[in-house]
A = this chain, B = another copy of it.
């Protein structure tokens, strides 16, 4: 078998057993790889309603069939699990060098269930594997964990996915980290922490066979030359996503807990400022985009702070929510989140939620133990990040995420918890980008921006050859479905979202087919079928958990408070007509939000019916 290593490792931490499995023909044909495999495994393996922080949940680490090859931008990996933040299906994505190394170690995936009786980490080296003691690593940040595991294994080239104190302490939005690259969202770090699993460390020298080396090389060559020739490639490969002025101009840069859409003084942290503090670009394995960067603050009160990033979402998460515009804060907070093991988006939104409660008097200095959460005051932010990760002080409340924190605080604070299905909203206000918002509200993950990003609204990408009005309601069901299924397709590969713009499905299909020898993967219609299948399977996972139309909801604010400022002023999010259109296009029952039997049969998902 080619492209794949045809080997997955199942680890049961409870009884400390390992089991190897190969990939079935049916799985490969029906789900291609990456997110497809993960969705199928999670659906098959998990009992309905299992505790996300219990033994029965799994964390599935997956590298795609193109990871570790010379094809560009396929180094991403997925962590797939039932989320403690949403209670539903979750897929979190990380970059760096972990996925290729997992392949070189001989595996396409590692599936971990159970719970160890004391802290452990999984070490995989060239096809061999073992559980190793991680007691001494418990409590340490992600940086130190990387250093000490590499030293213990006497191999500085070991790669790993690990958690920080946040994951150990059960912070609901704790992420999983690999060399400062985060699979941040959804609480995978908390799932690992609950399993007493500090890390999965991988290293190997195994080959990845290719079915048709000549065709593969030709396709890679074409990818590289298209990439070089693409109009926006050069600038994006320099700045990455460090251009928050983009969305601020559109009036969808959320401020004050999603009240406004324009940050004053954003010029203090626009692209030109990031250009000044950029030390160098960084990249994942075999990626010519190298969108990442090391940033270093050389003046002001955050002098000496540095991080890899911050990326757009993190720039926003520590500015808009608390009305700060100090580039130093974003860099320092980014690094703290990376090291303590926190999702920066949920961290920033949850802190911003607390700022609004403080303003409204729903919490006071007594609750915050003296911290003054007044807009524009950045002083409490790093303290709160630390308290959240360690579940200390007021941080213990915020560590539950906005939804649970609001339940805890009460007093009507629930209305200020800005999330979908428990997952905090990212840095695009849905009122000024309706398909983007429709994606947030319908996505199986909750409000995630990656898995259905509406580039048509944010960057003016055409849809079927036409420009899209970002405020319009009409036609957004089709666009949203397209965006979601499209992203599902790329997630099979697993290709980075920042590189899909320099390729197309046809060339992607050729890469997949040349690597794996599966000619059906070169058929773009087939890719669309599998993309839709995977998206619907994830939906059915959630349906089995009790999710439905009732969960495809935004907080009232997004629906009823019109945007007060900027170039999205006057708009709300028209959920009813948008959802109606979307369900129709999806072939889902408009009352329940559940895929119809016909739709499931058409997608080969009969097995989910009546579950």
Contact B282 A136 (CB under 8 A): no
Question: How far in angstroms is the closest Cβ of chain B from A392?
Answer: 12
A165 contact set on B, CB distance < 8 A = 304
Q: How many residues of A contact B (CB 8 A)?
A: 23
Tell yes or no: A152 within 8 A of B by CB.
yes
Whether a CB of chain B sits under 8 angstroms from the CB of A408 is no
Query: Which of B136, B143, B152, B157 is the one whose CB lies under 8 Å from A306?
Result: B136
Tell me if B136 and A294 are in contact (CB < 8 A).
yes
Q: Does A504 contact B (CB under 8 A)?
A: no
Residues of B within 8 A of A156 (CB): 150, 156-157
Segment 117-144 of A: residues with Cβ below 8 Å from B: 135-136, 139-140, 143-144
Query: Which chain B residues lie closer than 8 Å to A303 at the CB level?
Result: 139
Nearest residue, chain B, Cβ from A278: B136
Q: Given A136-B296, A136-B306, A294-B136, A147 and B143 touching (CB < 8 A)? A: yes
Residues from 471 to 485 in A contacting B, C-beta threshold 8 Å: none
Task: Out of B152, B279, B282, name the residue touching A280 (CB < 8 Å).
Answer: B152
Is A151 interfacial (CB-CB < 8 Å)? yes
CB atoms of A306 and B151 under 8 A apart: no
Minimal beta-carbon separation of A274 from chain B (angstroms): 14
A148 at the interface (CB under 8 A from B): yes
* Of the residues B140, B148, B152, B298, contact of A304 by C-beta under 8 Å: B140
A135 CA / B278 CA spacing, docked (Å): 12
What is the 8 Å Cβ interface bit string for chain A, positions 388-408, against chain B (1 contact, 0 not)?
000000000000000000000
Complex Cα gap A148–B143 (Å): 12
Closest to A158 in B: B156
Q: B residues within 8 A CB of A279?
A: 136
B residues in contact with A152, CB < 8 Å: 280
Residues of B within 8 A of A157 (CB): 156-157
Docked-complex contact A294 and B148, CB < 8 angstroms: yes
> How far is A306 from B151 in the complex, measured between Cα atoms in Å?
14
C-alpha gap A156/B135 in the complex (Å): 25
Contact between chains at B306 and A144 (CB < 8 Å): yes
Top 3 A-B pairs, shortest CB-CB distance: A156-B156, A139-B304, A136-B279
Beyond contacts A136-B294, A139-B303, A147-B147: 11 other A-B pairs, Cβ-Cβ < 8 A, are A136-B279, A136-B280, A139-B304, A143-B143, A143-B144, A144-B306, A148-B294, A151-B282, A152-B280, A156-B156, A156-B157
